[in-house]
């Protein structure tokens, strides 16, 4: 079956590349002029961060500038721009290459967790052709590389390939230095075996309870939060009340953090319900459209994931350890990113593959592969 998965991953990546290339051709004039709003009846045609990453490569000493700016999580996307000499089509090709490798890791991980072959193939199509995937393939960004690095880390961790998962862990940190904490928590919590998910959840709940005392730390991106509020405001809104509780009321902040997790996961749907439109100032927002369609496609998978994680917290006894690892891995990343820090829906995109796998795995021990996999992982 791996040959089928390899072939499918190749054609899906090729298709995404062609779609990304076509998108660039259509908006080439605007993109080459660093324009992303109010373009021929469209707005938010790209995530504007990519223009900043490109700008760094044009400084007198781009390599030094890229490494210095790495404190702001620019190293990987800026290096992509630098290697491709600022060519949009080449960047789309690099993104499609990352996607290809990420899809292969997705398939291998799903197979390792005994997901049925037909489901693997279907979910590969789903992941590759999400509107958000195509949208993120235009310009050098962090989303698709992050998907690959996290998939690579988790797969090699399950296989017990220490050198390789350490390499992918390093790449994750180079991409976003804030990922040090969830990676560390994952490694520590995994020592608690069947109780790993519960242990990680308790640590995160404690952090949520004391959030008013720690929210100013850089890892929670307070500056980005303030910028978001300046643009959109929260005063008097339900979101503003939740934020006020989260940042000023220890203990009660747990409830606010949990609300923020749900809000962040379903943000595109909530935004659409508020506005009942994909238009901003008369222009069609590509961002809102792509994320809304992706959220609709993934809605049942997120609901299943949330339902199952509650079930596993209550009773993990008969669940294979690798499935516990999968859900715990998702929890230690999604909970802090969505609940404890400044968050935009796109930051949850790299975990899409894990949520799809989580919805397809069996929660009960089955098959002869489980003990074999367990033995391999323990050596890690």
Give the burial string for 160-181 (b: 16+ CB within 10 Å, else e): ebeeebeebbebbbbbbbbbee
CB 208 within 8 A of CB 339: yes
CB 88 within 8 A of CB 31: yes
CB 286 within 8 A of CB 42: yes
Please tell me the distance from the alpha carbon of residue 111 to that of residue 361, in angstroms, as a whole number: 10
Asked if the model's pLDDT at residue 146 lies above 90, the reply is: yes
Q: Over pLDDT 70: what percentage of the chain? A: 87
CB atoms within 10 A of CB 241: 14
Region 183-194: mean pLDDT is 95
Asked if the model's pLDDT at residue 376 lies above 60, the reply is: no
How much is the pLDDT for 66?
75
How much is the pLDDT for 81?
96
Asked if the model's pLDDT at residue 340 lies above 90, the reply is: no
How much is the pLDDT for 328?
96
Q: How far is CA 307 from CA 51, 296, 312, 313, in A?
A: 39, 18, 9, 10
Q: Look up the pTM and report it.
A: 0.89
How much is the pLDDT for 44?
94
Q: Can you give the residue range of the structural domain that contains 364?
A: 2-378
Q: What is the DSSP letter of 39?
A: B
Region 40-54: mean pLDDT is 94
Strand order in the sheet with 283-285: 42-43, 283-285, 279-280
How much is the pLDDT for 65?
76
How much is the pLDDT for 220?
52
Average pLDDT value over all residues in the chain: 87
Q: How far is CA 306 from CA 41, 209, 264, 300, 336, in A?
A: 38, 21, 13, 10, 15
What phi and psi, each to the nearest 5 degrees, are found at residue 42? -120, 155
Instruction: With CA atoms as reference, report the closest residue to 181 among 148, 129, 149, 220.
Output: 220
Region 1-11: mean pLDDT is 90
The region of weakest confidence among 81-85, 181-185, 314-318 is 314-318
Question: Half-sphere exposure of residue 45, counting CA atoms within 13 Å on the CB side?
Answer: 24
Asked if the model's pLDDT at residue 289 lies above 90, the reply is: yes
CB proximity list for 71: less than 8 A, separation 6 or greater: 177
How much is the pLDDT for 248?
84
Domain count, the chain: 1
How much is the pLDDT for 71?
59
pLDDT in tens, 229-253: 444 444 446 667 887 888 888 888 8
CB 54 within 8 A of CB 86: yes
Asked if the model's pLDDT at residue 29 lies above 80, the reply is: yes
How much is the pLDDT for 271?
87
Q: Where are the beta strands (DSSP E) in 37-149?
A: 42-43
Q: Over pLDDT 90: what percentage of the chain? A: 66
Region 85-97: mean pLDDT is 97
69 confidence band (pLDDT: 50, 70, 90): low
CB atoms within 10 A of CB 62: 15
Region 35-48: mean pLDDT is 94
How much is the pLDDT for 370?
42
**What is the DSSP secondary-structure string of 178-236?**
GGHHHHHHHHHHGGGGGGHHHHHHHHHHHHHHTHHHHTTSGGG-HHHHHHHHHHH--TT
Please tell me the distance from the alpha carbon of residue 190 to that of residue 156, in angstroms, as a whole number: 15
Instruction: Return the SS3 of 280.
Output: strand
């Amino acid at each position: 079956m791996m040959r089928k998965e390899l072939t499918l991953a190749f054609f899906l990546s090729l298709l995404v590349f062609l779609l990304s290339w076509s998108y660039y051709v259509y908006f080439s004039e605007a993109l080459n002029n660093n324009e992303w709003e109010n373009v021929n009846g469209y707005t938010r045609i790209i995530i504007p961060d990519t223009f900043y990453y490109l700008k760094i490569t044009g400084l007198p000493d781009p390599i030094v500038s890229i490494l210095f700016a790495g404190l702001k999580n620019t190293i990987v996307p800026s290096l992509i721009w630098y290697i491709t000499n600022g060519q949009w089509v080449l960047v789309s090709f690099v993104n499609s290459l990352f996607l290809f490798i990420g899809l292969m890791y997705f398939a291998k991980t799903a197979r390792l967790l005994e997901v049925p072959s037909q489901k693997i193939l279907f979910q590969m199509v789903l992941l590759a052709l999400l509107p958000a995937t195509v949208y993120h393939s235009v310009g050098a960004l962090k989303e698709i590389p992050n998907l690959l690095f996290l998939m690579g880390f988790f797969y090699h961790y399950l296989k017990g390939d220490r050198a390789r998962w350490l390499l992918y862990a390093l790449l994750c940190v180079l991409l976003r230095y804030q990922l040090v904490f969830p990676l560390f928590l994952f490694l520590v919590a995994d020592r608690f075996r069947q109780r790993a998910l519960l242990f990680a959840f308790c640590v995160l709940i404690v952090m949520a309870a004391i959030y008013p005392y720690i929210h100013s730390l850089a890892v929670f991106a307070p500056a980005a939060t303030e910028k978001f509020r300046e643009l959109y405001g929260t005063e008097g809104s339900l979101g503003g009340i939740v934020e006020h509780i989260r940042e000023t009321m220890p203990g009660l902040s747990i409830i606010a953090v949990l609300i923020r997790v749900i809000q962040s996961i379903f943000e595109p749907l909530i935004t659409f319900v508020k506005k009942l439109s994909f238009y901003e100032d008369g222009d069609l927002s590509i961002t809102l459209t792509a994320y809304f369609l992706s959220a609709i496609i993934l809605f049942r998978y997120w609901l299943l994931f949330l339902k199952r994680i509650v079930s596993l917290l209550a009773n993990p006894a008969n669940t294979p350890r690798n499935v516990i690892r999968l859900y715990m891995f998702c929890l230690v990343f999604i909970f802090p990113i969505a609940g404890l820090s400044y968050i935009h829906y796109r930051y949850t995109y790299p975990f899409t593959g894990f949520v799809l796998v989580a919805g397809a795995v069996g929660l009960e021990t089955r098959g002869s592969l489980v003990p074999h996999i367990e033995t391999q992982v323990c050596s890690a």
